[in-house]
Amino acid sequence: MSKFAIWVLATRPQFFTVTILPIVLGSTIAWHHHHQFTLSYFLLALFAGILLHAGINVLNDYFDHLNQTDEINLTPLTPFAGGSRMIQQGLLSAKQTYYYGISLLFSAVLIGSYLIVATGLTLLWIGFIGVFSGYFYSAPPLFLNGKGLGELLVGLNFGILMVLGAYYIQVQQINMIVLFISLPISLLVTAILYINEFPDYLADKQVGKKTLVVRLGKEKACFIYTVLIILNFIMIGIGLLCQYIPWLAISSFLLLPLGLTAIKTLHQHYAQPTALLPAIKKTILLHTVISLILIISFFSL
């Protein structure tokens, strides 16, 4: 494997869709509502979002190495759960991983600073929450993921804040309807993280990382995944009825059987990590396709 490939794979680029799609959605809603779109702002926001996401992923690997989570985890479902494994495979040192993650975050902050100057101070608070919670997601002393807050923060950062931030960059205002529209994406990205916590359950429990799955136990924790998937469709339905979301997005309900199948798989195989792979893939597919449906529905009218 080339050095370049190692650096790229260490960022876990297979998950970048959870950053790209909400930024595209927020920008598309801005165009739909105001017919405003600045390409340079969009590209800078997209680049900053990817760098932020990459930095959070890399730093998560570093801190999970320090607390031994990834070392203890004997059933990592790479590339889905268990981190990038670059440190464990000896491809990057812990020191390299840490400084790489910091440099990615710093690059995102630099681009974000330019956008703040160009568009307004509201973006400062959106960016601050993202960077602060992203770093302390895994880092001591806060270690937010280990305190059962990781799921909430992922939904906030990669749903609400990404959509609102992208929208604000284009029109320099915040709209509560846009916040509502971001909720299905927030629920689905939370579901991606949440179902990935099941294969990591034993390792997380051993090192004291008290994710919601660890706190509840695998069997009881299945209920929350069910709520996340079903509530996503309920929010889309409410958005359609309130005319917050164009009616073309009703096609999202064609994916309900996919969601129900993922729920069934989790309830049947929550104790069998490798058997959860189909459900994990279906959860990622749900997030991707529903995001695209929402984007197309706003772009087409």
1 pLDDT tier (thresholds 50, 70, 90): confident
- Could you tell me what percent of the chain has a pLDDT over 90? 71
* pLDDT attached to residue 71: 60
Question: Measured between alpha carbons, how far is 119 from 101 in angstroms, rounded to an integer?
Answer: 27
Residue ranges and CATH numbers for the domains of the chain are 3-299 (1.10.600)
* pLDDT attached to residue 301: 55
Query: Which whole number is the average pLDDT over 29-38?
Result: 94
The three-state (H, E, C) secondary structure of 106-127, written as one string = HHHHHHHHHHHHHHCCHHHHHH
The three-state (H, E, C) secondary structure of the chain, written as one string = CCHHHHHHHCCCHHHCHHHHHHHHHHHHHHHHHHCCCCHHHHHHHHHHHHHHHHHHHHHHHHHHHHCCHHHHCCCCCCCCCCCCCCCCCCCCCHHHHHHHHHHHHHHHHHHHHHHHHHHCCHHHHHHHHHHHHHHCCCCCCCCHHHHCCHHHHHHHHHHHHHHHHHHHHHHCCCCHHHHHHHHHHHHHHHHHHHHHCCCCHHHHHHCCCCCHHHHHCHHHHHHHHHHHHHHHHHHHHHHHHCCCCCHHHHHHHHHHHHHHHHHHHHHHHCCCHHHHHHHHHHHHHHHHHHHHHHHHHHHCC
236 pLDDT tier (thresholds 50, 70, 90): very high
Query: Which whole number is the average pLDDT over 17-45?
Result: 96
Q: What is the per-residue pLDDT across 43-95, written as a single tens digit (0 to 9) for each?
A: 999 999 999 999 999 998 898 888 776 666 666 666 666 667 777 777 888 89
* pLDDT attached to residue 218: 92
Is the pLDDT at 291 greater than 90? The verdict is yes
| End-to-end Cα, the chain, rounded Å | 46
Burial class (CB in 10 A: 0-12, 13-18, 19+), 246: middle
* pLDDT attached to residue 14: 87
Measured in degrees and rounded to the nearest 5, phi and psi for residue 75 equal -125, 50
* pLDDT attached to residue 195: 94
